[in-house]
Amino acid sequence: MLSKTFSGAIAGVDAIPVEIEVYSQVSTASFAIVGLPDAAIKEARDRIPTALKNSGFKARQEYAVTVNLAPADIRKEGPIYDLPIAIGLLKAIGLLENSKLEEYAMAGELSLSGEVRRINGILPIAMAMRAIGKKAMLVPYENRMEASVVEGMDIIPVKNLREAFCHLSGQAQIMKVHSDLADLVDSAAACQDDFADVKGQEMAVRAVEIAVAGGHNVLMIGSPGSGKTMIARRIPSILPPLTVDEALEVSKIHSIAGAAKGGLPFVTTRPFRSPHHTVSAIGLLGGGAKAVPGEVSLAHRGVLFLDEFAEFPRNVLEVMRQPLEDGKVSVARACGAHNYPSRFMLVAAMNPCPCGYHNDATHDCHCKPGRIRQYQERISGPLLDRIDIQIGVSAVPLKDLQRAKCGRSSAEIRANVVRARAIQAARYRDMPGVMTNAEVRSRDLPRVCAMDDNTQDALQGMIEKLNLSARAYDRLLKVSRTIADLNGHERVTTEDLSEAACLRQFDADREADILGY
C-alpha cells in the first residue's frame, strides 16, 4: 500500500515542501529511504521500527518498506522526518485508517520509546505548509508555542507517537494551540537598563540616539572604564518596537538556528547579539558543514555589539563587509547555496591603543606611536568606511562623575527615535526594502537629502577637509538626514551637516596618527 505525508526541508531561512511517500509490500523485512537523505535520516531505518514497537504497534506480518522524500534533487537533513515517516508507515501497513491524512503536515524527531522530540526550524516549515494549503500540522509538544504564531494553521502538539496516532485515527482529539504574535509584541518586556544611569557622556549618548534613529553603524573609541560597554548595553532600551512582520522574519532565523531553545519560543523584541572576540568567521557569518545562520543573521533587525573590536581576528572582521553593505549573507557549501538576511545595526567599541590609555587625562600611555598606529589599523579602511558614526568616549573624572546629574532617560530618547523612524517610514513608503535612512540607495540621496546652496558649499568644504571616499560621503549624507529628522528639519541644514561631520572623529584622526579627544 502507498501512503503520503507532508513536511518541509530548510533552505536558508525558508522551507521547501517535502512529500513523503511510503510504500509497503508483504515480503522479507527491509527498510529503504531514498531522496537524498543525510545520515540522520538514514538512521531512521533503525529508530522508527523500534519506536513503533515500543509504542504498542505490531504488524501482522513482515513488510518491505520504501520511503521516498520528494523532490529527490534537494538534499534533506536532520531527524525532522521521523514522525511523518512513522505515520505514513502506519497507514501503509494498514494500522492507521484515515482517508484525510494528506491534508495534514507534520514534523518531529522520534526517540526509541516513541516520544516526539523538539526540532529546529519548525516555524518556517509551518509557514511553508500553510503556503501549499495545509490546514493542520502535527508538531512536537515543545515546539507548540513557536509554531502557534502561524495564522490560518491548526497547530496540534503531540508528546508521543501514540498521541499522534489516536488523534489522526479519531480515537482522541488534541486541542490545537494558537498565539497572537501582535499581542505578544505589544506586551514584550522593556529593557531594564536605562540611559538615565549614564552620567557625563552626553555626546556619546547623542551619537547613539542618532545611530538608532537612522539605523546607522557606530564605533566608540575610548579608554577602559569610559562607559562604552555601559552605553552599548542600554541600546535595547531605546530601540523602536518590532512590527509583526519583522518579528516573524526574525523568529524564523532564530528557529532555524535553534536559538529559541531554553528561552522564548519566538522573538518579540529586537535582537541584541554580543559575540566574544574569539568567535570564528563561520560563527559570525554563518555556514559550516551543515549551514546555519551566524551572529550577523541572528542580529537581523536588531543590534550586533562587538566589544574589544580591535581584538577580533582581521579575517573575521573582514567577512562583515558584504552583510554591512548588502544586508544579506551568501553562503555556498557542498549541500547548496543559502542566503541569510543580515540587516543589523553594528555597534563596536575599542580602546585607542594596546594599553588603552592613549590621550587619557588620568593615565599614562606607554605605547610607542608605531604600535598605536598598528593597533588602530587592525580595523581596515574599507571596513571603517562602512561605519557611519565614529566617536571618542573620554573617561569622566570621578569627582565630576559624583557631581554629574543623571542623563536623559531611555523613555525620552526612545520617543525621539520612534518619531524619527515614523518620518522615515512615511518618506520611504514607496521605496521597497528601505525602512531607515541607512538603507537609502545612493541614487536617491540627492532627493532625500535636499539642501540649500549654503549647505552645499559647506558640504564641499567638509569633503575636501576630511578627504572622504565616495562611500563615506554617502554615509555622511545619511547621518545628516537622520539628524535633520531628529531636529524636525524638512531639509538638511548646515547645522545638521556639521554635527554629522563631527561624528567621524576616528576617520579623520587616524590620518594624523593621533586621536584628538
The string of pLDDT tens digits covering residues 378-423 is 999 889 989 999 999 988 877 767 666 778 899 999 999 999 999 9
Cβ-proximal residues to 28 (8 Å cutoff; 6+ apart), any chain? 62, 64
Average pLDDT rounded to a whole number, residues 206-210: 97
Other Cβ atoms within 10 Å of 282 Cβ, number: 16
pLDDT at 264: 64
Strand partners, 115: 160
Which residues 6+ apart lie within 8 Å of 25 measured at CB? 63, 64
Q: What is the pLDDT of residues 279-297, one digit of tens each?
A: 999 999 988 777 789 999 9
User: For 114-136, how does the pLDDT look when each residue is reduced to its tens digit (9 = 90+)?
Assistant: 999 999 999 999 999 999 999 99
Dihedrals φ, ψ of 215, to 5°? 70, 30
- Give the per-residue pLDDT at 507: 53
The pLDDT of residue 334 is: 63
Q: In what order do the strands lie in the sheet with 136-140?
A: 104-106, 136-140, 154-158
If one counts every other C-beta atom within 10 angstroms of the C-beta of residue 27, the result is: 11
Domain with CATH 3.30.230.10 in the chain: 2-179
Measure CA 241 to chain center: 15
**Domain topology for 195-511:** Rossmann fold (3.40.50)
188-226 as b/e: b if 16+ CB within 10 A: eeebebbbbebbbbebbbbbbbbbbbbbbbbbbbbbeeb
Task: Say how far apart CA 246 and CA 447 lie, in whole Å.
Answer: 27
| Weakest mean pLDDT among 7-16, 330-339, 374-383, 443-452 | 330-339
The matching CATH number, chosen from 3.40.800.10, 3.40.50.10490, 3.30.230.10, 3.40.640.10, for 2-179 is: 3.30.230.10
Could you give the residue range(s) of every CATH 3.40.50.300 domain in the chain?
A: 195-511
Q: Are strands 116-117 and 109-110 parallel, antiparallel or unpaired?
A: antiparallel
Note whether 161 and 52 are within 8 A (CB): yes
pLDDT at 348 over 60: yes
How far is residue 353's CA from residue 349's CA, in Å, rounded to a whole number?
Answer: 12
Distance CA 286, CA 389 (A): 26
pLDDT of residue 284: 93
Scanning the structure block, which residue is given the C-alpha cell 505548509? 129
Q: How far apart are CA 294 and CA 286, in angstroms?
A: 4
Whether 46 has a pLDDT exceeding 60, the answer reads yes
Average pLDDT over residues 237-261: 88
Give the integer Cα–Cα distance in Å for 371 and 388: 26
Mean pLDDT of 365-372: 91
pLDDT in tens, 311-322: 999 999 999 998
Ranges of beta strands (E only) in 399-481 are none
**pLDDT higher than threshold 60 for residue 262:** no
Beta carbons of 251 and 124 less than 8 angstroms apart: no
Give the residue-averaged pLDDT of 88-110: 91
Decide which of 508 and 239 is more confident. Answer: 239
- Per-residue pLDDT band at 514 (split at 50, 70, 90): very low
Q: For 51-78, what is the mean pLDDT? A: 92
CA 287 to chain centre: 14
Tell me the residue type at 159.
K
Q: What percent of the chain has a predicted confidence (pLDDT) above 70? A: 95
Residue 511 has pLDDT above 60, yes or no: no
What's the confidence (pLDDT) of residue 423? 96
Beta carbons within 8 Å of 399's beta carbon, 6+ residues apart? none
- pLDDT score of 461 more than 90: no
* pLDDT recorded at residue 52: 95
The string of pLDDT tens digits covering residues 150-196 is 999 999 999 999 999 999 999 999 999 998 888 888 877 767 789 99
Evaluated on CA atoms 297, 301, 306, 310, the torsion sign reads positive
Q: What is the mean pLDDT of residues 265-274?
A: 89
Mean pLDDT of the chain: 90
Average pLDDT over residues 481-510: 86
Give the model's confidence band at 338: pLDDT under 50 very low, under 70 low, under 90 confident, else very high: confident
pLDDT at 29 > cutoff 70: yes
pLDDT of 80 > 70? The answer is: yes
Asked whether residue 138 carries a pLDDT value surpassing 80, the answer given is yes
Cα gap 270→304, rounded to integer Å: 11
Instruction: Determine the length of the chain.
Output: 517
Question: Which of 404, 413, 409, 411 lies closest to 199 in space, CA to CA?
Answer: 404
